Structure 1
């Protein structure tokens, strides 16, 4: 989290035949907050003129509608309201920059914020969402409560472009920001493209994510913290080759590393793709998966490939110890060409020192029995069914026309290398392949990757 970047956008440059809304003849400037049920229709372009708060009621956005944000704008759905933005593959909903095509850039506007009443792991149970000053005392920016089933609404078949900016250091909005949204929230078939900070950040809560594409963020892809414990399936993160940082940055509570609920989502079928650039000598490093301040994950059927500096970094004993309970586990995962490594997993050693500065554990990520990794890389497959092999993704690092579908002969498609997702109404149990995309490309048709 380095800059404020929040936004959902769908580029209207129809790249490679990608569908988008027909440009309407009329525009509607939105400058007033919303206090009742309201519908935005596809026959208009809606321009956000500043922070627009949906204070109560439901904001319905019809398929094919285009919403553009001017500098200093954002759409905020408060705890007392809902969003009902359901597009289709043929008519996705577009949230983008108000600037003309060819002049758009990451950070042009603030994006979309969803706030709810689920639990977060901070003292008092509520917080002010990043992107706003906590001293403002504005209840519309608050999130957190006791209802883990809270419904922030629906967001489906929507693209997110050119959002995010920094209000102050460590106080940023992202492409899509959720604060304490509960499990009744539906986030499915969403793309966040070229955000100035993280693509998606989940501040606590239990909201689930499905069919999510985060392309070329300036910072992290999926950032979660403050007790986020939702479910995720079919996740693509593609980093850019300039300033993109981590595919996942997982944090718990920086003040109290063991605060509950812990930040431990369950993630199945993910493709984390670095830019394949040279390792950093100065400046921002590009890492695959980073866990710190007591956060973990239950990750399975994933690909971690082409990161410049590290594949995995378990930073700190509070996160490393979660592996003992299975709350930091990486299984059935393919690693490839991270820091150029095609024979082993490139990870960050995590030494533990006592008060005198003496090393008491050379690498806490392995722990005493090598729960996450083994000293002998040949044992990887027998322990967690992880392997180092080319997943054969021919165009995953392509910024303009990426393709995350593995070749037919890829080991990612072998069911013996994968596991069956959990028996749960959320998970698709037919996804017995490694990575976000199997033999059918669910990203085709509704996503777009405009440069500006």
Structure 2
């Protein structure tokens, strides 16, 4: 049965699914559609507490803004997006979307399976009141035209603990939208959300632009899977300083640019806050294709004064570069000898990047004027020399992953006997992280992706 979304708003209490870490036991039963399920067209903004029910399918007909109240999405609900639609949680609204491993919430294209492709709809946008490093402290989120007097697309503020809501056990597929060059929506766009936000067990698959882009703020990310994005997998800028743990990135040989593109401020690299997230237990997986050609493919790229604190990670099978510290501002952050380095990579395995198994490629940053190279390397940063330091637990060694480059049925777990499972190779996570994760990479002995992730081709 199909009906127009009415103005009856019901606030439901939910049972939150299983929680933390690599020890979760997740069922493998796929979600099923209820026999009495309804299809509900959503063509108006939401201005009060609203519940989208288990078993129903909700079709976004336009950009739908949650301008106030909480949008509750129950486990197993399906949200489909038409062309030029998106779901936007404004600074004055909140989302409470809690699925389970057996019944994830699925955001996908309204086209039929077999006809779906990246860019079919605009994705999910969360906007908050945490700090950005922009003039005035707030701005308009990418993917929308700036319009005076419209607060729905604004984000930023001074509340680093702001709560944009909860997004848990959810998949976002075939999303992304280019309004204009360098002005795009992503699978999941997070602008200025604070530490009160809960983004956990979320997969973004086949997005047109980036998988997830974090614009400033402090929102934590946990149990994140970003597969086959058209551009970058995780893109952060404008002073993002959140904590991230258990992150899987997989790139396709046909599309995709960088596993991480890290930026801070395009004109003033020292503008605070500087983009310096702390990331533990990550697996960055390239396509295992030959170097060069199109598209280019890089692992971790840091520019415009952005940094990272990366621990217990794997960077493997990238065509061209493993790490590129691009420009003098980001290079200046790499001070491993200091007590609190702002660009630091430790306890990390590199393997088979640009077909190199005993080192990582040098990534020069030339300066070109009038078509002539006047400086072969502006940053003066030799990635292999700076990063491959045994005392920091950094190794060039086969991680022995099960089937990480498989695009339709990947397995990111390490094989039995993998050095990633040796706790001596891992650092112990600190405050704010799951300290029981004494392994390298995103997945240990328990596959937390089982049951709720999916990798459809179309």
Q: Pick closer, same or farther for the CA change 1:362–1:167 going to 2, 3 Å.
A: closer
Query: In the alignment, is the contact (CA less than 8 A) between 1:352 and 1:363 conserved in 2?
Result: no
Deviation at 1:196, TM superposition (A): 0.5
* Aligned ranges 1:165-244 → 2 under 5 Å: 165-244=177-256
Deviation at 1:352, TM superposition (A): 7.9
1:150 partnered with 2:176: no
Partner of 2:428: 420
Query: In the alignment, is the contact (CA less than 8 A) between 2:55 and 2:78 conserved in 1?
Result: no
1:448 partnered with 2:454: yes
Unaligned 5+ segments in structure 1 are: 1-15, 367-371
Unaligned 5+ segments in structure 2 are: 1-26
Separation of aligned partners in 2, 1:307 and 1:142: 36
Partner of 2:396: 388
1:430 partnered with 2:442: no
Alignment match of 1:348 (pick from 333, 340, 363): 363
1:104 partnered with 2:112: no
Partner of 1:288: 299
TM-score normalised per structure 2 = 0.89
Deviation at 1:137, TM superposition (A): 4.3
Alignment match of 2:445 (pick from 418, 439, 444): 439
Query: In the alignment, is the contact (CA less than 8 A) between 1:18 and 1:447 conserved in 2?
Result: no
| 3-state SS of paired residue (2:256) | coil
Partner of 2:14: none
Deviation at 1:295, TM superposition (A): 0.3
Separation of aligned partners in 2, 1:43 and 1:187: 22
* Aligned ranges 1:32-431 → 2 under 5 Å: 32-135=44-147, 137-281=149-293, 283-324=294-335, 326-350=341-365, 364-366=380-382, 373-374=384-385, 380-382=389-391, 384-422=392-430, 424=431, 426-431=432-437
Q: Pick closer, same or farther for the CA change 1:58–1:177 going to 2, 3 Å.
A: same
| 3-state SS of paired residue (1:416) | helix
Q: Pick closer, same or farther for the CA change 1:194–1:411 going to 2, 3 Å.
A: same
Deviations 1:194-222 (A, max 9, x none): 10110000000000000000011001110
Deviation at 1:135, TM superposition (A): 3.8
| 3-state SS of paired residue (1:374) | helix
| 3-state SS of paired residue (2:424) | coil
Query: In the alignment, is the contact (CA less than 8 A) between 1:21 and 1:93 conserved in 2?
Result: no
Deviation at 1:119, TM superposition (A): 0.2
Separation of aligned partners in 1, 2:356 and 2:434: 32
Separation of aligned partners in 1, 2:258 and 2:376: 28
Query: In the alignment, is the contact (CA less than 8 A) between 1:240 and 1:274 conserved in 2?
Result: yes
TM-score normalised per structure 1 = 0.90
Separation of aligned partners in 2, 1:157 and 1:320: 37
Deviation at 1:416, TM superposition (A): 1.2
Deviation at 1:345, TM superposition (A): 1.4
Where relative contact order (Cα < 8 A, 6+ residues apart) is larger, the structure is 1
Q: Pick closer, same or farther for the CA change 1:447–1:361 going to 2, 3 Å.
A: closer
